[in-house]
Structure 1
Amino acid sequence: MSAEDYPGELDMLRGLVATLHAVAEHGDLTDVRKLLDEHQTDDRAARAETPAPAGPTGRVTQLLDAIRTARGRWTTATAYRFYRDHLRSLDHIPNTQLRAVARGDLRDLAVWGHLLRHEEPGRQYYTLKTRKDGR
């Protein structure tokens, strides 16, 4: 996950801060307002050009639907078994690679805010994030 909402956002903000420091020392408030207005216009344009954040599609959507239906704890092994039992399109993938895909899909769903990651000694699992979680 990136700290930037669009490529170059951090550089743009650093440049703005440096310019504002210089103008604040030697300029007037009108110049500061002008710079902030220009930045706001540039920022809006950059956000409009940036594609929407990634989200679940295809097999990941099917996995999320299964998690919503079955609830409970989901481990890499659980997701792997779901893929082997329900998604014939993945039959050609070797077991070790499918385990890695299942692990990555669970991790992505957690990053996107759909699941909560839990850790116990020697084990990790995921649960569906609900509004009651308060997170």
Structure 2
Amino acid sequence: MNAYDRLKQMIRTSEGQMTVWSQPEVDAAFDAYRAEILAEEPPAPSPEFNAAVARRAQLLAEITARGGEWTTRRTHNLYKSLGITGLFRSTVREDLAAVHRAGHLVQHDEPGRRFYTAKGGGDRG
């Protein structure tokens, strides 16, 4: 029985079992559970996650180097020129939003138009 199952057994009273556990027993069960969780290997990032991180890093480098206003269309065209194809507009939009959330871009909203610029100027192009 693993530590998680042991904890479940200790707190289950719906089965007519009314065992009273001592504080040292409860503490030991929690300690064993914590040790099990900490010993687990974290799952490896998916290939899609790694691709998105690399694509967004490349996007930030291009925005920083080129400057100017970056719309979904301009970003999509950049990706095509870099050989990154098969992306939906929503993916491109999410890339821009993610780089913005990370604090690297400033979002500008105008009626019917959203664009981003590099934080700290970046208006070279």
Q: TM-score, normalised by structure 2?
A: 0.53
* Residue equivalent to 1:65: 61
* Residue equivalent to 1:81: 77
In 2, Cα distance between equivalents of 1:72 and 1:17? 57
In 2, Cα distance between equivalents of 1:29 and 1:128? 56
1:27 aligns with 2:21: yes
| Greater Rg over alpha carbons, structure | 2
Unaligned runs of 5+ in 1: 1-11, 131-135
1:39 aligns with 2:33: yes
The alignment-based identity, stated in percent, is 25
Query: What letter is aligned with 2:61?
Result: D
In 1, Cα distance between equivalents of 2:96 and 2:119? 12
1:99 aligns with 2:92: no
Q: Compute the RMSD of aligned alpha carbons.
A: 4.1
| CA deviations over 1:81-103 (Å, ceiling 9, x no partner) | 3224x31x24x65xxx5534422
Normalized per residue, which structure has more helix?
1
Tell me which of the two structures has the higher relative contact order, counting C-alpha pairs closer than 8 angstroms and 6 or more residues apart. 2
Q: TM-score, normalised by structure 1?
A: 0.50
